[in-house]
Structure 1
Amino acid sequence: MTNLPVPVPASEVPGGSVASSLWNSQVRDGLGFLLADPLFVGTQTTSQNVLTSTWTPINLNTEQFDTYGGHDNTTNNSRYTAQVAGYYAVCGVVCFATNSTGVRAARIHVNGAVVQGTSQMFPTLPSNTSGVATPLRTLYLNVGDYVEVAGWNNSGLASPGLATGVAPDLSSALYVAWAHA
C-alpha cells in the first residue's frame, strides 16, 4: 500500500455499524500511511562540476529510499517532488573534491528558491574530500513542490569548476521525510 493520502479521522454515530469501505479508508489505510509514510534518501555516485560562485543543484542518481516515487534518477534528478502535502524534515550534504582554495557551502532550495536558514559554509580542507551538511529543517511542501540540495564554492577554478567528491563513505545526498500534516 503506497501513495496513500493523509488519513482523515472517521466520524461515526454511536450504535451505527462501520461499513467495510469506511473501515478500510479510515482505519486500515490510515495505519498503512503512518507505517509507510513518504521517505526519500538520494545520493550522488557520479561526480559533477560546480562552477565558482554559482549555487548549483546537486544531481542525485541513486535512491536509497523513495517510498512514494517523488524522485526520478534521470529527469531533474536533483529534485524530490512532494507526492503528499505536509511538513517534511529535510537536510542535505554536498561533498567536494580535494582543493585547497576557498570556501565550500551547501543549502536547501524549495521550487528553486533558497530556504532561509539552511545554508552552511566551511573553509576547505587542503588534503581531503570535504562535506558540508545543511541543518535539519522542517518545511511545508504542497503536492508538486520540489526540494533540492545545492552546492557552492569560491575555489576560483575556471569552467568546468570544482568537482563534487564521491567516495564509498562520503557523497552528496538529500534526506526528505514526511513529519506530519
Structure 2
Amino acid sequence: MAYTYVQPGQSLTADTLNAALMVGQVVFTATRDTAQTFSNTASTANANTGNAVSWDAVNMDDLAGWAAATPTRYTAQRAGWYELNGAISFAGNTTGSRVCAWFMNGSLLAGGHGQRVAANTTTVSASAVTLPVLMAAGDYIELCAGQSSGGDLASATGGPRPSINIKFVRPV
C-alpha cells in the first residue's frame, strides 16, 4: 500500500507540510576531524558501543539531534524513517581487520554490520551499510568501530576521516 502524506479531508498544518517537504532531505552530517582512539575488540573485530565515533565537526543538524554532551549520538527529534550512511577510517596497521556498524539505543541494528576490511600499512576505510531505520522521537543512532589490531588504533584524519550522513526518508 502506498503511503499518503495528506489524507482526504485533512487540514494542512505547518507540521504536516514540514514533514512532507522533509522527505529525502539530509538532516545531519558530521565528521571526526581529529584522531580518535578505538580499542581492540578481539579477533572477531566486532564493533561495540565503547567504540562509538565522537563527532567533532557537525556540518548540518537541521533537526537539532546532536548535542555536545553526547557527541557520539544523533537523537531523532521527529518520528519517521531515516536513511543512515557513514564510514570510519583507520590509521595504517598491518594486523587484523576493521569494521563499522550501526547501533540504535545501544543495540546493534539487524543488518547493521558493514563489510570487514583487511588491515593495511596505509589508511583503510570501512564503509557502513546504507540502512533505512524507523526511529521514534528520542531514539538515538551511533556509528561504532571494531578492529582487531591487538591494541588501540586511531581513526584517520584528513580526507578519509570518519563521516556520517542521515537522511529523513519519510514520516510514519
Q: Same fold by TM (over 0.5)?
A: yes
Measured in 1, the distance between the counterparts of 2:54 and 2:111 equals 22
Give the TM-score normalised by structure 1. 0.79
Find the aligned partners of 1:101 and 1:43 in 2 and give their Cα distance: 25
Higher strand share: 2
CA distance in 1, matches of 2:149, 2:133: 31
Instruction: Tell me the CA shift for residue 75 of structure 1.
Output: 1.1
Deviations 1:43-73 (A, max 9, x none): 101111111016210111111211010002x
Aligned residue pairs: how many?
157
Greater C-alpha radius of gyration: 1
Please give the per-residue CA displacement for 1:83-136, whole angstroms capped at 9, x wherever unaligned.
Answer: 00011001221111111111001000000100121212111122x211101111
Find out whether 1:11 has 2:14 as its counterpart: no
| Corresponding residue for residue 16 of structure 1 | none
Asked whether 1:71 is paired with 2:66, we answer: yes
In structure 1, list runs of 5 or more residues that go unmatched: 1-6, 13-21
* Cα contact 1:108–1:149 (8 A) shared by 2: yes
Greater RCO between the two (CA within 8 Å, min separation 6)?
Answer: 2
How far apart are the structure 1 equivalents of 2:15 and 2:110?
Answer: 35
Out of 142, 147, 152, the residue aligned to residue 148 of structure 1 is 142
Q: Which residue of structure 1 aligns with residue 103 of structure 2?
A: 109
- Structure 1 CA distance, aligned partners of 2:147 and 2:78? 33
Residue 133 (1) aligns with residue 121 (2): no
Report percent identity of matched pairs.
24
Q: 2:44 is matched with which residue?
A: none
Segments ≥4 residues shifted beyond 6 Å: none
Unaligned ranges ≥5, structure 2 = 42-46
SS at structure 2 position matched to 1:47: coil
Alignment partner, residue 37 of structure 2: 49
Change (3 A) 1:38 1:10: farther
2:170 paired residue number: 180
Q: Provide the rounded CA distance (Å) in 2 between the counterparts of 1:32 and 1:141.
A: 17
